């Protein structure tokens, strides 16, 4: 580890290398702290799930040049309350939203640039600020800034052990080039994600179904530090079965498939399971409000697989898929190609088509095209599947991130199981997102939580180190 002096304790040790970690490191360095970032991934893969992101959600007054608006804090809070059904720490939710209003300005100061949203991005132009160059562009700016401020970064160096005494962080062991290195610090910021890439851990809650999950992001977020913190007496937050999960192309890689593997075809046709049976209202509400329920719905189906079936009228209405659709001249042929029972799929499509009522199709609004008489209705955008060629996509649950985490207070300080704040341990990002997200998700809030709590953690950790 050339150039890094381990003989003196660092003021702030930041575990992780994504948005939350970098926001903490930059803020701590600006507060005068000597900061070390330990990133478990090699340099090329630095930045965890943040690499895959496109935007963050922020309250604003409508003057941001790349956003339509305004998006008032009250409206943001209403949206959060709705998606979480009130399962949020209200103080931390209000704090997140209030401080979200500072993020565009702060990010700009760090060299991050924004752009207007492209089409097909879930209609988020009013509420979400899009990074120019995506999450990777944003991370590159943050890393450049951190390094300019003197932050030391150690890549390919996962934290493999923590020494915590009575809620007080003493040191971390990181493994670098196969050798353990002890890293002492006056404060710790844990910003190393959830446990979504740890299939064994997911299996504890989901059983064998977890083997069929695809992980949309980094393979490095295995929850090791999260587990160490719980074992060291830090209070847990969040339901371990809760996570953000969308339906993604079943042909996607096991890890790191990213945004391109999401399929937005669901509302335009029907979804069936491997028995060729429909299982949920595909037109219940607009796609931005419903896309995040489909991962969990597919997870509940036999063998955790489902198929989106559309006809030729719908193929160009959603973002192009990265893998081509399976195409066939008839429903029976499509079933054979997808490995579905042909009779069953033909019956499902026949019954669905017969139930479709006349209406005026408009996928930009909650239109009046619906079914009548089906046990599982389709409430909007119901058109017969009747114009060949027919198309199908196989889908699997794509896990974005888990919500089980560490409990924090409004200073981003971890809370111990007896309710007292830790002496010097802070957390930011996915690892504590469950404080704000009891369930549900609001597009872009993952980055908001990471940036807001990263900045708070960095500031408080630096102050602590100097006292």
Ligand X SMILES: Cc1cc2nc3c(=O)[nH]c(=O)nc-3n(C[C@H](O)[C@H](O)[C@H](O)COP(=O)(O)OP(=O)(O)OC[C@H]3O[C@@H](n4cnc5c(N)ncnc54)[C@H](O)[C@@H]3O)c2cc1C
Between 77 and 382, CB nearer to ligand X:
77
Contact 437, 254 (CB under 8 A): no
Residue 270 within binding range of ligand X, rule CB under 6 A: no
Strand runs labelled E in 92-136: 114-115, 128-131
Residue 311 within binding range of ligand X, rule CB under 6 A: no
Residue 48 within binding range of ligand X, rule CB under 6 A: yes
Between 39 and 459, CB nearer to ligand X:
39
Give strand pairing partners of 185. Answer: 10
Residue 447 within binding range of ligand X, rule CB under 6 A: yes
Residue 189 within binding range of ligand X, rule CB under 6 A: no
What is d(CA 433, CA 166) in angstroms, rounded to the nearest whole number?
24
- Measured in whole angstroms, how far is the alpha carbon of residue 124 from the centre of its chain? 16
Question: Which residue stretch of 51-59, 96-104, 359-367, 379-387 sits at the interface with ligand X (rule: CB under 6 A)?
Answer: 51-59
Residue 446 within binding range of ligand X, rule CB under 6 A: yes
Contact 450, 428 (CB under 8 A): yes
Contact 330, 271 (CB under 8 A): no
Cα dihedral 91/93/97/98 (nearest 10)? 10
Residues 208-267 that bind ligand X (CB under 6 A): 216-218, 220-221, 224-225, 258-259
Per-residue contact flags (x/-) with ligand X for residues 271 to 310, judged by CB under 6 A: ----------------------------------------
Question: Which residue stretch of 3-11, 100-108, 330-338, 445-453 sits at the interface with ligand X (rule: CB under 6 A)?
Answer: 445-453
Instruction: Give the shortest CB-327-to-ligand X separation in angstroms.
Output: 27
Contact 161, 228 (CB under 8 A): yes
What is d(CA 197, CA 220) in angstroms, rounded to the nearest whole number?
7
Residue 458 within binding range of ligand X, rule CB under 6 A: no
70 preceded by a cis bond (ω within 30 of 0): yes
Residue 17 within binding range of ligand X, rule CB under 6 A: yes
Measured from the Cβ of residue 362, the count of other Cβ atoms closer than 10 Å reads: 12
Smallest CA-to-CA distance from 259 within 41, 51, 451, 401 is with: 51
Instruction: Give the shortest CB-457-to-ligand X separation in angstroms.
Output: 11
Which phi and psi (to 5°) does residue 146 adopt? -60, -45
Question: Which residue stretch of 47-55, 73-81, 90-98, 377-385 sits at the interface with ligand X (rule: CB under 6 A)?
Answer: 47-55
Judged by CB under 6 A, the residue of 89, 282, 430, 459 near ligand X is 430
Residue 53 within binding range of ligand X, rule CB under 6 A: yes
Judged by CB under 6 A, the residue of 10, 11, 25, 54 near ligand X is 54
Instruction: Give the shortest CB-338-to-ligand X separation in angstroms.
Output: 25
Question: Which residue stretch of 33-41, 93-101, 350-358, 377-385 sits at the interface with ligand X (rule: CB under 6 A)?
Answer: 33-41
Residue 16 within binding range of ligand X, rule CB under 6 A: yes
Residue 450 within binding range of ligand X, rule CB under 6 A: yes
Smallest CA-to-CA distance from 457 within 20, 99, 145 is with: 20
Contact 197, 219 (CB under 8 A): yes
9 by DSSP, 3-state: which?
coil
Structural element, H or E, at residue 228: helix 224-231
Residue 110 within binding range of ligand X, rule CB under 6 A: no
Residue 352 within binding range of ligand X, rule CB under 6 A: no
Between 40 and 392, CB nearer to ligand X:
40
Judged by CB under 6 A, the residue of 14, 15, 188, 404 near ligand X is 15
Smallest CA-to-CA distance from 246 within 213, 201, 283, 274 is with: 213
Residue 435, burial from CB neighbour count under 10 angstroms (0-12, 13-18, 19+): buried
Residue 213, burial from CB neighbour count under 10 angstroms (0-12, 13-18, 19+): buried
Instruction: Give the shortest CB-452-to-ligand X separation in angstroms.
Output: 11
The Cα-based distances of 374 to 261, 280, 294, 355 in angstroms read: 31, 11, 20, 7
Judged by CB under 6 A, the residue of 185, 397, 444, 458 near ligand X is 444
Task: Please tell me what DSSP assigns to residue 266.
Answer: G
Structural element, H or E, at residue 211: none
Residue 27 within binding range of ligand X, rule CB under 6 A: no
Residue 38 within binding range of ligand X, rule CB under 6 A: yes
Instruction: Give the shortest CB-25-to-ligand X separation in angstroms.
Output: 11
Judged by CB under 6 A, the residue of 117, 125, 158, 394 near ligand X is 158
Question: Which residue stretch of 10-18, 101-109, 266-274, 370-378 sits at the interface with ligand X (rule: CB under 6 A)?
Answer: 10-18
Residue ranges that bind ligand X, judged by CB under 6 A:
15-21, 38-41, 47-50, 52-56, 158-159, 191-193, 216-218, 220-221, 224-225, 258-259, 400-401, 429-430, 444-447, 450
């Amino acid at each position: 580890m050339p150039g890094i002096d381990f003989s003196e304790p660092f003021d702030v040790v930041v575990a992780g290398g994504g948005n939350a970690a970098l926001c903490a490191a930059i803020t701590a360095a600006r507060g005068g702290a000597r900061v070390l970032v330990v990133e478990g991934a090699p340099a090329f893969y630095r930045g965890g799930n943040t690499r895959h992101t496109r935007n963050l959600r922020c309250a604003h007054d409508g003057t941001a040049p790349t956003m339509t608006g305004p998006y008032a804090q009250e409206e943001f809070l209403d949206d959060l309350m709705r998606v979480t059904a009130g399962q949020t720490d209200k103080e931390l939710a209000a704090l997140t939203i209030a401080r979200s209003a500072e993020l565009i300005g702060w990010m700009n100061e760090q060299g991050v640039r924004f752009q207007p949203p492209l089409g097909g991005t879930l209609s988020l132009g009013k509420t979400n600020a899009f990074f120019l160059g995506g999450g990777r562009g944003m991370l590159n700016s943050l890393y450049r800034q951190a390094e300019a401020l003197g932050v030391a970064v150690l890549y390919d160096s996962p934290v493999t052990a923590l020494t915590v005494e009575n809620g007080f962080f003493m040191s971390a062991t990181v493994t670098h080039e196969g050798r353990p290195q002890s890293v002492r610090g006056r404060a710790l910021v844990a910003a190393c994600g959830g446990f979504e890439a740890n299939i064994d851990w997911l299996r504890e809650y989901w059983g064998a179904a977890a083997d069929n999950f695809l992980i949309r992001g980094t393979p490095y977020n295995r929850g090791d530090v999260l587990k160490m913190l719980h074992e060291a007496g830090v209070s847990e937050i969040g339901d371990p079965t809760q996570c953000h999960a969308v339906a993604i192309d079943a042909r996607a890689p096991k890890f790191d498939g990213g945004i391109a593997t999401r399929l937005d075809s669901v509302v335009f046709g029907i979804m069936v399971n491997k028995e060729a049976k429909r299982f949920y209202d595909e037109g219940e509400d607009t796609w931005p409000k419903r896309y995040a329920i489909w991962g969990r719905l597919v997870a509940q189906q036999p063998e955790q697989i489902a198929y989106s079936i559309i006809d030729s009228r719908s193929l160009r209405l959603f973002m192009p898929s990265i893998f081509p659709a399976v195409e066939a001249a008839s429903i029976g042929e499509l079933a054979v190609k997808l490995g579905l029972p042909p009779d069953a799929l033909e019956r499902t499509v026949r019954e669905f088509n017969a139930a479709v009522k006349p209406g005026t199709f408009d996928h930009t609004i909650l239109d009046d095209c619906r079914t009548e008489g089906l046990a599982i209705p389709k409430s909007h955008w119901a058109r017969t599947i009747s114009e060949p060629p027919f198309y199908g996509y196989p889908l699997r649950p794509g896990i974005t991130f888990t919500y089980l985490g560490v409990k924090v207070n409004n200073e981003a300080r971890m809370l111990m199981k007896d309710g007292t704040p830790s002496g010097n341990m802070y957390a930011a990002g996915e690892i504590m997102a469950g404080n704000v997200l009891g369930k549900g998700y609001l597009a872009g809030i993952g980055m908001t939580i990471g940036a807001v709590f990263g900045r708070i953690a960095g500031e408080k950790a630096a102050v602590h180190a100097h006292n």
